[in-house]
């Protein structure tokens, strides 16, 4: 045994073995949940996720393109938003709360010789819920100031009537996959030649 400077025997330092700690596999506590679209979208599965506490899913927002949701390539530029509202068994049920058109798509469809008229308004549904909706009107040629004012006014009046006749749960489906843009377009063509109507964004106002 080694001695220290004073000639005393140095004591060995005993290394205590580490105690084995029980590690809990967190994954065993978690459960998989399928995220389901509402009936208006045929209750299709939007995805799946794993959580330990199902209540943590409530309020979560899921984004999915129109192409992914409905297998329609022409809807790739549209992103729909769904929010988890309740849990039933291993399913997280959602409601549609809005949509948005990608900026890159809008840049491609707007031409120099046309006019772009934009309107953003709140509209009330048949069941008294409010949606904030942004609409862009693109004309074939340059529109005068008077024509732009008329287009904006007619668009807002038409949209107000259409939304007031719909239940809130049907609004997003009708905007993205339904006839709302065509109905608005039909009320504008007598004012000035219109190239297209794009409902570029909508959101449920809470």
- Cα radius of gyration rounded to whole Å, the chain: 29
CA gap 139, 136 in Å, rounded: 10
pLDDT values of the chain reduced to their tens digit, one per residue, 206 residues: 545 555 555 555 555 555 554 545 676 778 999 999 999 999 999 999 999 899 999 999 999 999 999 999 999 999 999 999 999 999 999 999 999 999 999 999 888 889 999 999 999 999 999 999 999 999 999 999 999 999 999 999 999 999 999 999 999 999 999 999 999 999 998 999 999 999 999 999 98
Task: Supply φ then ψ for residue 145, to 5 degrees.
Answer: -60, -40
CA gap 173, 166 in Å, rounded: 11
What is the four-CA torsion angle of 98, 55, 128, 202, rounded to 10 degrees? Answer: -10
Q: Are 76 and 67 in contact (CB under 8 A)?
A: yes
Question: Looking at the DSSP assignment, which residues form a beta bridge with residue 201?
Answer: 100, 134
Task: Supply φ then ψ for residue 121, to 5 degrees.
Answer: -145, 160
CA gap 107, 202 in Å, rounded: 19
What single DSSP character describes residue 53?
Answer: S
Question: Looking at the DSSP assignment, which residues form a beta bridge with residue 132?
Answer: 122, 203
Q: Can you list the domains of the chain with their CATH numbers?
A: 29-99 (no CATH), 103-205 (3.30.479.30)
Q: Are 184 and 196 in contact (CB under 8 A)?
A: no
**Secondary structure class of 108 (helix, strand, coil):** helix
């Amino acid at each position: 045994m080694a001695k220290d400077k004073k000639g005393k025997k140095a004591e060995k330092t005993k290394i205590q073995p580490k105690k084995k700690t029980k590690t809990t596999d967190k994954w065993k506590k978690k459960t998989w949940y399928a995220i389901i679209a509402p009936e208006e979208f045929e209750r299709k599965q939007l995805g799946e996720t794993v959580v330990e506490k199902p209540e943590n899913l409530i309020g979560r927002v899921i984004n999915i393109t129109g192409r992914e949701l409905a297998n329609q390539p022409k809807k790739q530029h549209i992103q729909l938003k769904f929010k988890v509202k309740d849990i039933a068994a291993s399913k997280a049920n959602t409601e549609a709360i809005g949509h948005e058109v990608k900026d890159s798509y809008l840049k491609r469809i707007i031409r120099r010789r046309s006019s772009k008229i934009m309107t953003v308004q709140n509209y009330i549904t048949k069941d008294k819920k409010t949606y904030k909706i942004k609409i862009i009107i693109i004309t074939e040629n340059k529109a005068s100031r008077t024509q732009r004012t008329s287009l904006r006014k007619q668009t807002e009046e038409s949209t107000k009537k259409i939304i007031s006749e719909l239940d809130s749960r049907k609004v997003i489906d009708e905007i993205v996959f339904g006839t709302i843009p065509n109905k608005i377009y039909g009320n504008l063509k007598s004012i000035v030649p219109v190239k297209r109507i794009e409902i570029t964004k909508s959101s449920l106002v809470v």
